[in-house]
Amino acid sequence: MELLDKLTILTDAAKYDAACTSSGLDRNGRPGGLGSTMAAGCCHTFSADGRCVTLLKVLMTNRCIYDCQYCVNRRSNDVPRTAFTPQELAELTIGFYRRNYIEGLFLSSAVWGSPDHTTERMIEALRLLREEHHFWGYIHAKAIPGADPLLTRRLGELADRLSVNIELPSEQSLRRLAPDKSKASILAPMAQIRDSIQVSRQELAKYRHAPRFAPAGQSTQMIIGATPEDDRHILLLTQGLYDQYGLKRVFFSAYMPVSDSRLLPARQGFKPPLLREHRLYQADWLLRYYHFRAEELLDEAHPNFNPLVDPKCSWALNHPDFFPVDINRADYEALLRVPGVGVRSARRILTARRCGPLNFEGLKRLGVVLKRAQYFITCSGAFLEGLRVSPDGVLRHLVAQERPLLAQGAPQQLSLFEAGA
């Protein structure tokens, strides 16, 4: 088969994987080698669906022994099957990388033969890149549940980031839709990766040349909307993963109707839950950067996010006793809770107020979104002049601001540069 056709098939099979980040690791190029990485990551292009493309995201093969109902590559699905040879994949990566098309490789795979065999082929491709081509760009590899721990270990020494997909948010759903996988078999490699990363960090502190294991950490992803779990369940699970497995990111992927299975939502008229995915990402940001806890955002009585306002506004509206926050006195954590104040603008407020008291005019210069923040802040004890606040009015105004975004139907992906807002 032509390389072009292989690339088409194996890209098409990999596109539902949400993660495409190249962040978490700063590594300079090495003399004579090719490539470097940046801690902030780098988007090389954006596809027509508005998602960032930073890595060459392909599968090693789409031949699979499993029959997971939600997956395009399930063995019962009638699609063309193929596989890259390690040489083809290495040459493709180098050719793209030299032309600055990509930041590195994201290698995933369907399970061909056995988890061990699949992992061995992935290792061979990565070994070629690292050792023969002296490639030092970013490599994200999927660990295959069920593979020998020694093989996973080798994979982690070659890759920068490892991930194991948790696939679905609960064990019942997993049992129903992915009968070949179990919670235990997914969590085992995650724990192994966590421990190996920790050991590697300790060794690096002692010996500079100790082998580095997945230096950019591990991540995971789950499918949203194919199964009946509520937002609260998903967010608590996410928080648990961050706390217990030290993950860098948890990705959510709105379920795309790729199957006619009776266990899944019907294909006809199914709208992928993009807004829900967006709200979950917003909440995920709150967990990671804004010192929120999942229990604060959702409770038993409100197990799902309000589609009309973002989770931070929603929290603020439900906690009127916390506000107003005085910009000139509040500490960093309190500033972060104000809608319209992001990580960047909160830091700028701390810097700027050392030089003198801030007023509303100055806040605009610092990048605070006053349209949102005005209802929740005072400057030296005073609200914005001319502002009348009634609890109903605030909600109405905040909803009105979101409407243009909601009208599009498909909300925007969170980006690095808007993360602060």
List residues near other proteins by CB under 8 A. Answer: 3-4, 7-8, 11-12, 15-16, 28-36, 38, 40, 42-54, 56-57, 92, 95-96, 98-101, 103, 254, 256-257, 272, 274, 348, 351-352, 354-356, 358, 361-362, 365-366, 408, 410, 412-413, 415, 417
- The CB-of-236 to other proteins minimum distance in angstroms stands at 27
**Cα 90 to Cα 5, 18, 45, 118, distances in angstroms:** 17, 23, 21, 16
- The CB-of-179 to other proteins minimum distance in angstroms stands at 26
- The CB-of-24 to other proteins minimum distance in angstroms stands at 17
- The CB-of-148 to other proteins minimum distance in angstroms stands at 31
- The CB-of-6 to other proteins minimum distance in angstroms stands at 10
Q: Supply angle C-alpha 28, 32, 34, rounded to 5.
A: 55
CB atoms inside a 10 Å sphere around CB 318: 14
The alpha carbon dihedral of 178, 265, 311, 321 has a sign of: negative
Judged by beta carbon, residue 14 or residue 159, the one nearer other proteins is 14
CA dihedral 56, 57, 61, 62 (to 10 degrees): -150
Judged by beta carbon, residue 136 or residue 315, the one nearer other proteins is 136
Judged by beta carbon, residue 386 or residue 404, the one nearer other proteins is 404
Judged by beta carbon, residue 1 or residue 355, the one nearer other proteins is 355
**Cα 156 to Cα 162, 190, 193, 264, 385, distances in angstroms:** 7, 12, 8, 34, 57
Q: What angle, rounded to 10 degrees, do the helices at 391-407 and 311-318 form? A: 170
- The CB-of-106 to other proteins minimum distance in angstroms stands at 11
- The CB-of-275 to other proteins minimum distance in angstroms stands at 12
Judged by beta carbon, residue 321 or residue 361, the one nearer other proteins is 361
Please give the Cα distance from 88 to 111 (Å, whole number). Answer: 19
Please give the Cα distance from 347 to 99 (Å, whole number). Answer: 37
Q: Reading across the β-sheet that carries 161-163, which strands appear in turn?
A: 55-59, 104-108, 138-142, 161-163, 218-224, 249-254
Residue 82's φ and ψ, nearest 5 degrees, are -160, 180
Judged by beta carbon, residue 356 or residue 386, the one nearer other proteins is 356
- The CB-of-37 to other proteins minimum distance in angstroms stands at 9
Please give the Cα distance from 194 to 57 (Å, whole number). Answer: 24
Judged by beta carbon, residue 137 or residue 215, the one nearer other proteins is 137
* Element holding 203 (H helix, E strand): helix 183-206
Judged by beta carbon, residue 155 or residue 346, the one nearer other proteins is 346
